[in-house]
Structure formats: C-alpha cells, structure tokens
Structure 1
Amino acid sequence: MIRRRSLLGAAAALPLLPAAARAQAEWKPSHAITLVVPFAGGSGTDAVARILADLLGARLGVPVVVDNRAGANGTLGAMQVVRAAPDGHTLFVTTNTTHSANPSLMKRIEYDPVADFTPVARVGNLPFMLVVGEASRAQSLRDLLEMARRAPGQVSYASGNSTGIVAGATMARMAGAEMLHVPYRSTPPAMTDVMGGRVSCMFVDIAAGLSNVQGGKLRVLAMSTRDRSALMPDTPSMAEAGLAGFDITSWNGVFGPARLPPEAVSTLNSAIREAISRPEVKQRFASIGFEAFSGPPAELDGFVRTELVKWRELIEAAGIEKE
C-alpha cells in the first residue's frame, strides 16, 4: 500500500509542473527553418551558417535553408528577422556587426539588438587576419605602417563588415598614420580588390579569406587578436607584429525574433549545443577558420549587452563618426 500511494502521489504531482517546462521537450518545427544571414554568400558567417544548417536539419528532421540578405551593414537581414513570426522557423545567424557595432556606427537603425530579438545560442568566434595582396611590397605589419606614414592617405584598407571598419580605423589611429577607408557591401568583393592591388589591405575573417591565403593570392601580416590564434599558430598577433594593445575579433550567435516561445528556444539551443560539443563538428568548423563553442541563451543575452558597450568604446576611441 505504501508503494502504491507513493506512485499515485508522484503521478498526481506531474500536472503541477509549469506548462512551459512540460512543453519545452515537446516543441518541434512543423516545416522548414530559415537561417537568415546578413552577409553575402562567400562570407565567413555564410560558411558557418551552412554548416549549422546541415547540423540542425539532421537533428530536427526538417529542411534548414540559408537566406543571404546582405546590405546596409547587416540591417536588411536584421529587419527581416524582426518582422518574422516568432514561431522558431526563422532564425538569425549574425555577428557583432548587427548586435554590437551598428548602434555606434549608424545614426539611425530600425531595430534594437536586445529588445527585438530572442537569444538562442552563441556559436563561436571568427578570428580576423590583416592581409595584403600577393604583389604588395609590405612583408610585415611594420612595412605596411611605414608605407602609410610616408605617404599619408595613399595606403588604403577595405572593409566588408563592422569588424573590418573598426579594426582598420583602430590600426590607423594606433599607428599614427593617415589611411584611406574603402567600404564594400560585403567581404568577397573587398577581397577581390585587395588581391588585385586596387586596395592596400584589409582585415578579413579566416573563414572567408583562408582559401585565398592558401592559394597564394593573399599574404597574412598578423592576427587581429591580442594573442595568436590556435587556428593559425604560426601567424603573429597584432601586438607581436608591432601594435601593442590591439585586440579585436568577431563573434557569431543565433537569435530569433522577440517573444520566441521558451520551448522553441530550449529545443533549438539544445540542438546547437549538442552538435557543437562533438569533436568532429568542432574540427569541421576549425577547417574553415572558425572557433566553435556554445552556451545557454542567458549567456548570449549577457554577452550581447557587454559587447554593445565594448564596441561603442572601440568605435569612439578610433574616432569613427556615425553615418
């Protein structure tokens, strides 16, 4: 009788669980999921999103497609997600461009990086490298900066995203050199002009630029991070190469529209974290130049709030005016 009463008591207690907690394990996508990427095909974030699409599709049992919405420094893609139904079928694979830098780079944006999105999971980091074309006379960072100091305004840097903008301006400020900024809609055409010698240099993420480095079309002068990257251990950091204190990198995360149901967030976060925890998946990301790791939604939420402050300070220190 004691055993029977215990079982009945346990069964009776089940309905008292919060509805959201019971539903979290029950949410399943009813049709294809779209991953909106705010940059063009061939960008580092695009490469990350396509691997993520394969992993999520296999885990959730529905097609997962990538939708590239490049333009306006990522705001076109951001607004597509803001306006989407908060049902878990439209997600945003984005970076510090839309969720850290834009509020300090642009005079007017139509979205709030915190209020208009639901954090799902951080995905990892995109380390950046400073590159020049193969025909460039600059064999080192010191060579490049000396060229810039000797000919003010004649040495240029391209950018295809906010990290490229801020890193280039920070380099010029710290070096005391006047350098010309040449902005591009996305990373691939910026790389093309650096390779062709029409622009002197650029900061590009490993994921987007690695194949051109390996093909001998681009030469790496330094990594943008404070320390050397494990992905390119033989390449010096900017500090080692001559600019002490330089430390800029890009991050990737997954968001949904505001008011995404907790059960959808839970299922999507679990799927992403489970996939990224596997060694073979980490290696797959590493092969394209991406440092993959993840965590709970609350961690991404706090991280975004901190990064908004960090990037505002970087942009103000570099003397970049809002446009």
Structure 2
Amino acid sequence: MTRATRRHLILGAAGLDLALGPARAQTAAEFPAKPIRVIVPSTPGGPPDLILRAIAPRLTATLGQPVVLENRAGGGGLVGTAYVARQPPDGLTWLFTTASHTNIPPFNDNVTYDPVRDFTHVTLAAQNFGQALVVHPSVPATSVAELVALAKASPGKLTYANANANANANANANANANANAGNGTASHIPAEVMKAITGTDILSVPYRGVAEATTDLLAGRVDMFFVGTQIALQHVRAGSLRALALTGRRRWAGMPDTPTMEEAGLPGFEVVNWFGLWLPAGARPDVVRTLHAAVRAAVADPEVRRQFDDLGLEGVAMPPEEFMAFVANQAQIAQEIARRVGPGTR
C-alpha cells in the first residue's frame, strides 16, 4: 500500500486560532462546534481541490467553522476513502471525491469498505460535461464515426490511454498496479462503454496518472484518450490534439463546436464525472441536512457558478436520499462493467 500524501490547508475565512483551540463537547444545537476536515483521496491540485476552493468560503460563512482540506492519496483513492470510513460519524470528517468512489472498487481486490453501506450520503455537489474524447493528429479520424470505422477495420490496433486520476505520484504498489492502473476511472469507463456500444476492439494502455498519459498521447505513442475538458481544451487550441466528442448529455460552452457522443452517432451515450460529499456511516440526520443545505447554498452562489463554468462544471446539490440512490446505481453499473471486462482490460 502506498504512503498517503498529506496536505493541510485552511480553506475559507479566518479560523486558524479556532482550529488550534481546546476541544469541547458538541451538541446538536451547536453543530459544528469544531473545524471540519475534508479528506480528498487524491493528489493535490485536481478537480476536487478546485471545487473545494470555490465553495469553501461559502461553507465557512454558513457553518461558522473553517474547512480544512487534507489530501490523502494512494491506492487510486482507496487509502483516503478507507480512512474516512473508520472515523466517527460526527460530521467533522468529510469525504469529497469523484465518481471513482463507485467505479474503482469493482476493479480492486484490496477494498476494505463498501462505497454504499459504509458511508452516509450527503450530496452530489457538482458534475462535469463529460470527458473529452481526443485523438493524436496522426489518427486518420475527424469524427467518432470515422474513429469507429477505423477501429473496426483494424481490430486491436488502435490504443486508448487508461489513466488513474487519483494516483499517488510516489506510488509503489503491488505488482498488478501498473496493469490495472486506470481501471474504473474517468478515462476507462467511457472507453469501455464506447467499445461495448460499437462492438470495437481497442487496446487499453494503462498509466499511473493523467499527466503521463497526456504526454504519451501528445507524442503519438497512444492514439486516443478520454480526458478532462480543461486538459483537452488547452491542447486542442494549440492544435496538438483533435477533439471528437464529449461524453456528457449536452455541449459545453468552452468547446461549443465539439458534439456530444450521442450527437456523434451513439444514442444514449452519457458518462460524466461527478463529485460528491460523504460522511462515515451512522451520521445524524440533522447533521446531514445542515451540510446539504450549506453545499446547496454554496453551489447556487453566482461567483461559484462562474468559477464552475470556467472549470467545465455545473453545481447540483442533489438531496441526500436521491444521492444515496444515485450512488447505489452508479456502483451497480461499475460492477457490471467490471464483470464484463474482467480484472484487467484488453
């Protein structure tokens, strides 16, 4: 198991003196009585960090306590997530992560928690407009239809980058880690869905992280990649990559000329990356309601909405009961994909 990467950062308004102050008993009426830790089970600087930076000042103002971000990377997100599952359900330790919460476990034999049963589901906070399907300019395809035709003409010849967005840069995991590095991630799931819908055989090339995969794509060592829109946009504008489609249900203003996968000829195709908030199992209903209301107010703030739009995101604030059903459904979908492709991905 990799050593967790930690970073402590006070987010939002002042409160360092509160963070260091003496502990005291917390009652329902005064929740939260102490600073809140938000565990992000990935390396610093990723989308979860950016989302928290946008909403933390509003959360601090609403809750009256500072919000402390702590990155605990390792195991593709498993280390930090398992840590939260073991904490007291007092509402003072949050898990904030991506769709990897449900997508990673079916592809990993070392999971020590259940993503549905072992957590209290607070809210879906945001989602993107899908991943961008980008190809190296040397690939003779300017549309999804042409890419599919190319894949069918030469089964197993085309390659896609399968990258672990939650990887620890200093990872030193088990012998199978590299072979399954990106399984269950936002680059892997849409590729496997596309292969299933189109009946194509496209070879998965595993990478420990998005940066490494992007470097190889730019060098032409891999043909295609389902990558985050912000990363795609800079390289598409530079002419170093070609965008064929987005995996969300509608177009993004940042790439207005890029069609959705459905518009590109794959009916019903919708795979988005989403970002949610959980507590350890057993949290009080009043605490859950308080936190959901705080997030709902934060993502509705005009300045937060502007920042989200720049990031290719939209705020959601899904109610807890609806979020729990959503997570259970996402976990079931991931399990089905894992059963179909097996522990490794061709």
Deviations 1:150-173 (A, max 9, x none): 433332111235232121122223
Inter-partner Cα distance in structure 2 for 1:214 and 1:92: 35
CA contact (8 A) 1:44 1:205 kept: no
Amino acid across the alignment from 2:341: I
Paired position in structure 2 for 1:139 = 142
DSSP-derived class of the 2:341 partner = coil
The Cα shift of 1:192 comes to: 2.6
CA contact (8 A) 1:40 1:69 kept: yes
Paired position in structure 1 for 2:52 = 49
Larger Rg: 1
The Cα shift of 1:109 comes to: 1.8
Q: Please show how residues 103-118 of structure 1 align to structure 2 within 5 Å.
A: 103-118=105-120
Stretch deviating more after TM superposition (72-81 or 43-52): 43-52
The Cα shift of 1:190 comes to: 2.2
Paired position in structure 1 for 2:72 = 69
Higher helix fraction (1 or 2): 1
**Residue segments in structure 2 that go unaligned for 5+ positions in a row:** 1-26, 165-184
Inter-partner Cα distance in structure 1 for 2:198 and 2:143: 14
Paired position in structure 2 for 1:30 = 34
CA contact (8 A) 2:131 2:246 kept: yes
Confirm or deny that 1:297 pairs with 2:320.
Answer: yes
The Cα shift of 1:215 comes to: 4.4
Inter-partner Cα distance in structure 2 for 1:210 and 1:67: 29
Identity of paired residues, percent?
37
- The 1:179–1:80 alpha-carbon spacing in structure 2 relative to 1, beyond 3 Å, is same
Amino acid across the alignment from 2:43: A
Inter-partner Cα distance in structure 1 for 2:214 and 2:326: 30
TM-score relative to the length of structure 2: 0.75
Inter-partner Cα distance in structure 2 for 1:190 and 1:38: 20
DSSP-derived class of the 1:130 partner = strand
Within the candidate set 107, 119, 122, 1:120 is matched to 122
Deviations 1:80-101 (A, max 9, x none): 21123333232111222212x2
Amino acid across the alignment from 1:28: P
Within the candidate set 82, 86, 92, 2:85 is matched to 82
Within the candidate set 94, 97, 107, 1:94 is matched to 97
Within the candidate set 289, 297, 302, 1:266 is matched to 289
DSSP-derived class of the 2:275 partner = strand
Paired position in structure 1 for 2:279 = 256
- The 1:142–1:267 alpha-carbon spacing in structure 2 relative to 1, beyond 3 Å, is same
Amino acid across the alignment from 1:321: G
The Cα shift of 1:267 comes to: 2.5
Stretch deviating more after TM superposition (246-255 or 202-211): 202-211
The Cα shift of 1:253 comes to: 0.8
The Cα shift of 1:209 comes to: 3.8
Paired position in structure 2 for 1:283 = 306
DSSP-derived class of the 1:182 partner = strand
Inter-partner Cα distance in structure 2 for 1:114 and 1:281: 29
CA contact (8 A) 1:82 1:111 kept: yes
Inter-partner Cα distance in structure 2 for 1:163 and 1:58: 33
The Cα shift of 1:271 comes to: 1.3
- The 1:211–1:36 alpha-carbon spacing in structure 2 relative to 1, beyond 3 Å, is farther
DSSP-derived class of the 2:263 partner = helix
Within the candidate set 159, 163, 185, 1:160 is matched to 163
Amino acid across the alignment from 2:113: Y
Confirm or deny that 1:184 pairs with 2:187.
Answer: no
CA contact (8 A) 1:43 1:186 kept: no
Paired position in structure 2 for 1:322 = 343
TM-score relative to the length of structure 1: 0.80
Inter-partner Cα distance in structure 2 for 1:34 and 1:211: 33
DSSP-derived class of the 2:303 partner = helix
Inter-partner Cα distance in structure 2 for 1:253 and 1:76: 17
Deviations 1:160-208 (A, max 9, x none): 3523212112222333332111222333332232223222111123255
How many aligned positions are there? 297
CA contact (8 A) 1:128 1:205 kept: yes
Inter-partner Cα distance in structure 1 for 2:326 and 2:270: 17
